[in-house]
Amino acid sequence: MNARSGLMVFLIAAAVLVTGVFVFSRQARTNLPAATDTMRISPTAATASIPASPSATQGVNAQSTAAVAATAPDLQASPLAAPAANGMQPALYDYTVVNTFPHDPTAFTQGLVYLDGILYEGTGLYGRSSLRKVELATGQVLQQHDLNEIYFGEGIALLGDQIYQLTWKNGVGFIYDRETFEEKGQFSYATEGWGLTHDGQQLIMSDGTPVIYFLDPATLQETRRITVTAEGQPLAQLNELEYIDGKILANVWQTDLMVRIDPATGIVDGVYDFTGLLAQGQSAANSTPPAAPPDVLNGIAYDPASGHLFVTGKLWPTLFEVEMHAR
């Protein structure tokens, strides 16, 4: 099997696999809204359509590795290890660790943003979801807003003087003042909430399906959507997002991969392979056994000054500064 056919088989198989895992590991979700459906903004006090508080047994995220470990892709044996055969394939990228920083191993990282030497982080799990401001060098939490225990926090985006935060199944997002973390409003959406970023003009949202939504940040109405494809096949499980140099970078849940997406077409034109990243941080991590084992890769932030990425994962004790290079 040559490199091109091998990669194509892997991506198609991965698309089918993660779609199956998505159906298996999550409760049935409503149909995607039609293109004419809108997402409405409401005052802070609005609480309509919020489900009842989940039971204590729902405290474990269905996005955790354990739920689907038996069916997760084996990336060590992936055909992605082969070099790209031609320009029609997604370009393949490897990483070099430039620096490591402490990361709170109790933080179930769902969203990550870097600005002016500070990390903004959104965390998940029922009863443990939060919005945080974190000092990069030490990992110290400088400021924190905790979500009500009925919410499972998801991706965040910082646009202007506001921070937007999604929740997983509640269909509710929050808008905060960037400096004070004071809640300024809420908005609703008909899908699940996974990843969130922006291109300077519009918010960009994922919901675990191959669809990515573009929202007007003033009205929270959907302006357009794209379907993400890898070599012609829809690619699901798109999680944490970051917008970098005109492209969308997305974690692919339950893998060590990130994909680079053309926001005009939805085509995956790059694959970033982070196999083995967590192991490189073990010596830098605190030797105290963590309360829970590290979960999957999730969390992307970008430093435009250096061109480097900051990368971590759910319950990881380390945050990595990495430089990407073509394989």
Three-state SS string over 205-245 comes to: EECCCCEEEEECCCCCCEEEEEECEECCEECCCEEEEEEEC
Catalogue the long-range contacts made by 290-293 (C-beta closer than 8 Å, 24 or more residues apart).
Answer: 290/105, 290/106, 290/315, 290/317, 291/105, 291/106, 292/105, 292/106
DSSP readout, 93-116?
A: EEEEEEEEEE--TT--EEEEEEET
Between CA 128 and CA 147 the distance in angstroms is 8
CATH number at residue 256: 2.40.128.630
Q: What is the pTM of this model?
A: 0.76
CB 217 within 8 A of CB 164: yes
Q: What is the DSSP letter of 61?
A: -
Torsion of CA 256, 260, 263, 268, to 10 degrees: -90
Q: Which domain holds residue 251?
A: 3-25+65-326
> Token pair for residue 192?
């699940």
Q: How many domains does the chain have?
A: 1
Whole-Å CA distances, 34 to 211, 214, 233: 12, 14, 21
Helix (H) or strand (E) holding 277: helix 277-280
Residue pLDDT tens, the chain, 327 long: 444 444 444 454 454 444 443 333 333 333 333 333 333 333 333 333 323 333 332 334 444 433 333 333 333 333 333 343 333 589 999 999 999 999 999 999 999 999 999 999 999 999 999 999 999 999 999 999 999 999 999 999 999 999 999 999 999 999 999 999 999 999 999 999 999 999 999 999 999 999 999 999 999 999 999 999 998 899 999 999 999 999 999 999 999 999 999 999 999 999 999 999 988 876 544 555 556 678 899 999 999 999 999 999 999 999 999 999 999
Distance CA 93, CA 258 (A): 10
- 183 located within any domain: yes
- In this structure, are strands 196-198 and 141-146 parallel, antiparallel, or unpaired? unpaired
